[in-house]
Structure formats: C-alpha cells, structure tokens
Structure 1
Amino acid sequence: MHSLDQLYQQIILDHAQARTGSGTIPDTATNSSHQVNPTCGDEVTLALSLGTDGTIDDLVWEGEGCSISQASLSMMCELVDGKTPAEIRALDEAFSTMMHSRGGDVDDDILDTLGDAASLQGTSQFPNRVKCALLGWMALRDALVHAEGETKEEK
C-alpha cells in the first residue's frame, strides 16, 4: 500500500474512533434530521442551532454505521464549526464534487478546502461507499434548512 494511502486510511480510522461532534441529541432539538442509508443500514440523527451571528452555534450527532460514515461525520463537524450557512453550502458542494469524481482528479483547491475530509477521496471510486460518506452531509443540509426557516420566523 502506498504511504499516502496508509496516511489517509489512518486519518479515516482516527476520525471514526474520535468522532468529533458525536453526542446525545437533546430532547429540545428543533433543527434535526434523521437519515438512513438503505444500502447498508448506516444511520445518523443530527441536530444544530445557529447563533445570533448566523454561524453554527451547536452541532451534535448520533449515529451507527461503518467507519467511512462515522469518519465523514466527524470530519464534517470540524469543517463546519463556526461557519455560516453560505460557507457550509460551499463546503457541502466541494465535498459532493469530490465524492462524485469516481476516483478522478479533483482540483487541489477543493481538496485544500476540505482538510481531513480530502482523505475520503479514494472512496469516490466505490458508489456504495459514496453514500456512506455523504450521509452526514445530507443530514446537515436538511437540519440547516430547518434552522434557517426557524431564524426567519423569529424575525
């Protein structure tokens, strides 16, 4: 195995075990999303809140699944911490672009933007694994829509 592949594999395993953002969803959470990957059974429930400045104030998730889905969630939490919805959508688009590259070249700017999440690029060669990596991002996207709607209603 190539040394870079070994490094990426170790980053994925580290995130799958450390699980940044993993915790208990509060009963009072209103901006949450539950997503399931029917192909393999991975699932996640993610809840978030936006601060008064419009950035992510709190983000927590509970989930079960393979190391790819769990690592992707952990990496995503690190990436979006303190970001605005517009910044989150840009990160989501970059991650989606990488995951739909089918193992092809991805612009270095995109990979640089994604930090540790760029280690999942090799996963894009395996369609069933792409769904695992995107699961948390789908939950984030859905919860963000709820949060933005709640913020608009408060105004």
Structure 2
Amino acid sequence: MNNFYNEILTEHNVRPEFKYDLECPTIQLEGVNPNCGDDIWLNLVMKDGVIQDASFNGDGCAISQASADIMIGMIIGKTKAEALHLSDLFLKMIKGTATDAEVEELEEASALQDISHMPARVKCAVLGWRTLREAIEKLDSEA
C-alpha cells in the first residue's frame, strides 16, 4: 500500500475525529463484520433529509475504524441521496469497477482503493458504508 495512503489510514485510526458518543441521534445502528469481529455503532442526526451530524463508536481493525471515520467526515452536511451516492462510489471503488473520476470524487476515501487487492480486508473497509446504507434505508422505511 502506498505510504501516503497508509499515513491517512493511520491518522484516522490513531486520532479519529468522529469516534465518540453522539447525544440524541436520529438513528443509531450497529454494523458487525462476523469474519473478524469488527463492530461499530453508527450515529446519525438527520434534519430535513440532511445529515446534520454523525459519529461512530466500536472496536475493530485499523481499516474498519479509519474507513468509518473518513466516511463520516464526507457525509456530514450531505443529503441522504448524496450520502448513498458516495456509498455506491466507495463500493464500486472497492470492487475495482470505479472510474478515475469516481475515485477522485471520493477524496480521502480513495486512500482505501488498494483494499480491492486484499479480499480478506474488503469487509473491513465497507463496514461503515454498509451500515450507513442500512441506517438510511431504515429511516426511509420508518418515514
């Protein structure tokens, strides 16, 4: 893995900006990766269809923790549709089917692009993104 990208992942793992308890989230959803035991709780504060605030908590490998932290930094202030779009792009990138322009749109999350070459770590990288999608779908089904 490229050193620059490794530094981004290490920074987000060692000093995550969004790993804390969020008071009164609109939705809190647990995401678990049974393969390796990664376990996160995603907290979202939604207002008028926009993610006003978000955080996560939990335990897991450096990749799952860094990926969740990067994701949250990207989705705050976004609409549900914009957040789902980013999630779709992230999953395409991890599957190796994203275009260069799509990868570029992922900004810091593109640091995880090389994970596509490490099948055992893919579920770690997508845990936060998958939990985000499930949380939004759950909110939509309750609306």
Same fold (TM over 0.5): yes
Within a 5 Å distance, the mapping from 1:4-153 to structure 2 comes to: 5-26=2-23, 28-52=24-48, 54-101=49-96, 106-150=98-142, 152=143
**Cα pair 2:51 2:78 within 8 Å, conserved:** yes
Q: Secondary structure at the match of 1:34?
A: strand
**Cα pair 2:22 2:54 within 8 Å, conserved:** no
1:60-87 C-alpha deviation (Å, 9 max, x unpaired): 2101111100110011011111000111
**Cα pair 2:67 2:125 within 8 Å, conserved:** yes
Instruction: Quote the offset at 1:25 in angstroms.
Output: 4.5
Runs (4+) off by over 3 Å: none
Instruction: Quote the offset at 1:30 in angstroms.
Output: 4.9
Q: How many pairs were matched up?
A: 143
1:100-146 C-alpha deviation (Å, 9 max, x unpaired): 11xxx741111111111101011111112000000111111111123
**Cα pair 2:70 2:109 within 8 Å, conserved:** yes
In structure 2, C-alpha distance between the alignment counterparts of 1:39 and 1:116, rounded to whole Å: 26
- The structure richer in strand per residue is 2
Identity of aligned residues (%): 36
**Cα pair 1:23 1:60 within 8 Å, conserved:** yes
**Cα pair 1:32 1:146 within 8 Å, conserved:** no
Under a length normalisation based on structure 1, what TM-score does the superposition of the two structures give? 0.85
Is the alpha carbon distance of 1:107 and 1:86 closer, same or farther for their aligned partners in structure 2, counting shifts above 3 Å? same
Q: Secondary structure at the match of 1:40?
A: coil
Q: Which runs of 5+ in 2 are unaligned?
A: none
Q: Secondary structure at the match of 2:106?
A: helix
Instruction: Quote the offset at 1:20 in angstroms.
Output: 2.5
Rg comparison, structure with higher value: 1
Q: Which runs of 5+ in 1 are unaligned?
A: none
